[in-house]
Chain A
Amino acid sequence: MAEPQVRKRSGSRQRIWNQLGERSLWGWRFFLYTIPNYIVAYYIINFLPFEVYQGNWVIVGVLSHLVFIPMGLAVRILVPKSAFKHRLAPLLNIVLFALAGMVKNFVEVLLAIQLGVMVDPRWLLNLSSGAFGMVYIVLIYVAVFGERVRHISTMSSLISKREQLIELRNQRQESLKKHEQTLRSQAQELILPRLREFEQLLGKQMKVQEQVDYLKNTLLNTVRPLATQLQDRRSVQYFDGFGKETTKVRSVAFFERLDLWRDVRPLVVFFAFMPGYINGSILLVGIDKFIQGYPFILITFVALLLVKLAGKVKALANKFVKLSLFLGLPAAGILTSWLFQIQYVDSQQLRLAYLVPVAWGFGLIYVGTAFVTALSATQKVTERELAESNAALQAEWEIYQRDFWVANKRWSYILHGEVQAALTTAIARLTIRPIITPLDVAEVREDMERITQSLSKPLDAKIDLRSAMDDLVEVWQGVVAITYRGSKEAVDLLDKDDFAKQSISEICKEAVGNAYRHGNATKVEIDLQIVSKRFELTITNDGKGPAENRTKGIGSKMLDDLAPRWSLTNSGGITTLKARVPSSALH
Chain B
Amino acid sequence: MQKVERKILVVEDESLLRNLIANLLESEGFLVQSAGSAVEAKRVAKLFDPDLALLDIELGDGPNGLDLAESLLSLYPGLSVFFLTHIAEPRLVDRHKKVVSKNTGYLVKSRVAEPSYLVTALDAALRGKVGIDQQHFKTPDHIFTKLSNTQLDVVKFLAAGLTPSQIAVRRGTTPRAVRNVVARAIDALKLSGVDEGLARATLIREYIKVAGTPRADG
Besides A220-B86, A475-B71, 8 other A-B contacts (C-beta < 8 A):
A416-B58, A416-B86, A424-B112, A425-B17, A425-B20, A428-B112, A475-B67, A480-B71
B194: which A residues are within 8 A, CB to CB? none
Q: Is A232 positioned at the interface, with any CB of B under 8 Å from its CB?
A: yes
CA distance A227 to B64 in the complex (A): 17
B residues within 8 A CB of A423?
A: 110
Q: Which of B37-45, B142-150, B175-183 contacts A (4 or more CB under 8 A)?
A: B37-45
B215–A413 contact, CB under 8 A?
A: no
A509 x B67 contact (CB < 8 A): yes
Most chain B beta carbons < 10 A, residue from A417, A429, A478, A516: A417
Encoded as 1 (CB less than 8 Å from any A CB) or 0, chain B from 104 to 122 comes to 0000011011110000000
The residues of B that contact A555 with a CB separation of less than 8 Å are 94-95, 218
Interface size class of A (residues with CB under 8 A): 35 or more
Confirm or deny: B29 has a beta carbon within 8 angstroms of a beta carbon on chain A. no
- In the bound assembly, the distance between CA atoms of A232 and B174 in angstroms comes to 29
- B interface bracket (residues with beta carbon within 8 Å of A): 35 or more
CA distance A352 to B160 in the complex (A): 81
Query: A417 contacts B13, CB within 8 Å?
Result: yes
Complex Cα–Cα for A560 and B218 (A) = 11
A residues near B (Cβ < 8 Å) are: 215-216, 220, 224-225, 227-232, 412-413, 416-418, 420-425, 427-432, 447, 463, 468, 470-472, 474-480, 502, 505, 509, 512-513, 516-517, 552-557, 560
**Chain A residues, CB < 8 A from B112:** 424, 428
Can you identify 30 A-B contacts, CB atoms within 8 angstroms? A224-B87, A229-B212, A230-B212, A231-B212, A413-B58, A416-B58, A416-B86, A417-B13, A417-B60, A421-B17, A424-B110, A425-B14, A427-B110, A428-B24, A430-B113, A431-B113, A432-B20, A432-B113, A468-B61, A475-B39, A475-B67, A475-B68, A478-B74, A502-B61, A509-B63, A512-B67, A513-B67, A553-B217, A555-B218, A556-B217
Asked if B209 CB lies within 8 Å of chain A CBs, one says yes
B binding-site residues for A, Cβ under 8 Å: 12-14, 16-17, 20-21, 24, 37-39, 42-43, 58, 60-64, 66-68, 70-71, 74-75, 86-88, 94-95, 98-99, 109-110, 112-115, 208-213, 215, 217-218
Checking A424, A472, A517 against B113 with a beta-carbon cut-off of 8 angstroms, the contacting residue is A424
Interchain CA distance A416-B13 in the complex, whole Å: 11
The answer to whether A479 and B86 touch across the interface, beta carbons within 8 angstroms, is: no
A231: chain B residues at CB < 8 Å are 212-213, 215
Task: Say whether A420 contacts B109, CB under 8 Å.
Answer: yes
Chain B residue with the shortest CB-CB distance to A558: B218
Q: Which A residues touch B58, using CB under 8 A?
A: 412-413, 416-417
Set of chain B residues within 8 Å of A557, measured between Cβ atoms: 215, 217-218
B75: min CB distance to chain A, Å: 5
Inter-chain CA distance A438–B44, complex, in Å, is 36
Q: Which residue of B lies closest to A447 (CB)?
A: B16
Q: Which of A416, A430, A475 contacts B62 (CB 8 A)?
A: A475
Instruction: Select one of B37, B75, B94 contacting A554, CB under 8 A.
Output: B94
> Which A residues are CB-close (under 8 A) to B38?
471, 475
Give complex CA distance A507, B88 in Å.
26
Evaluate contact between A471 and B71: CB separation under 8 angstroms: no
